[in-house]
Amino acid sequence: MQITARELCALLNGKLEGNPDVVVSGPSKIEEGQPGTLTFLANPKYEHFVYTTKASILLAGEDFTPTQPISATIIRVENVYACVALLLDKFGSEITQQTGISKQAFVDSSAEIGEGTSIGHFTVVDKQAKIGKNCTIYPQVFIGEDVTIGDNVTLHSGVKIYHKCQLGNNIVLHSNVVIGADGFGFAPQEDGTYKKVAQIGNVLIEDNVEIGSNTTVDRATMGSTYIRRGVKLDNLIMIAHNVEIGENTVIAAQTGIAGSTRIGKNCMIGGQVGIVGHIQIADRTKIQAQSGISRTIKDPDTAWYGSPAIDYGDFLKAQVVFKKLPELQKKINELEKLVSQSETKK
């Protein structure tokens, strides 16, 4: 894809400063920008790269005021991140998409495949599976018996969807996502061994969900594990059996959520967070990375930090004290010494 600064400016409804005829063919990071590429400035921390980048076009905010000359053509826009997202989508659409059903794929005769859906090499679509329209299923995907998949779904290589799970529309599952593996259910026996508890539920994923690589969502023991509309999950996340993730909640990498916990709507959960089972997290809760949640959070619109987690503001105050503990301990030792000397003199 090649596009001029003039065309980009019209597309983004921006204001152009510089050469309107300069041509770019792709994006670049601002610190690595090369001629013929487009870069952007959205974070003031990166402003110093603006004056040294070799990129041909720079996207910047309407309020950006340079302090040195800039060689790149500038396009000023109201929302830099929104414009970058739009452009990345357009540049990404240039990647060649597969079409049709590969002769090396296995599709059971009882499966239903919607119009415009493509299926890659060595993919398996099992009995009674139903796949909607305009889906893209890459090579080496497994779709189990009686699975239902909606329209405009993308399954990247290595995705595994176990039997009876249900996916809505406009979903993206990245490589090696596993949907519907058994929940971690084992009953202790008198002899110290464990007997497996059958996991006979499923996973239900609603519309507009995206799940990152190597994330696992376990099937319910009974009923369903729910991933509600608009949820975004990062790579390497573990969602246990009978969990419910509320609408438009986002969760970063390496977070683990134990069984039967319910996460509210529009929550933001950082990386490496651990959440125990059988609790509830209120709507719009924010949890800082590496926190441990061990009890129900009842009040919405709160922020938490630490393990076990406490109020975010209280944690920051406590951190200030924690860093001074060696100094405080030294002062306490000195005071104890003075008290001891005073008592000796008496």
Catalytic residue ranges: 241
Asked if residues 46 and 25 have their Cβ atoms less than 8 Å apart, the reply is no
Encode 138-160: b = buried (16+ Cβ within 10 Å), e = exposed: bbbbbbbebbbbbbbbbbbbbbb
63, with CB counted inside 10 A (0-12, 13-18, 19+), is: exposed
Q: Are 208 and 229 in contact (CB under 8 A)?
A: yes
Angle between helices 5-12 and 80-92 (to 10 degrees): 120
User: φ, ψ for residue 341 (rounded to 5)?
Assistant: -65, -40
CA dihedral 11, 14, 15, 21 (to 10 degrees): -20
Give Cβ neighbours of residue 346 (< 8 Å, ≥ 6 apart): none
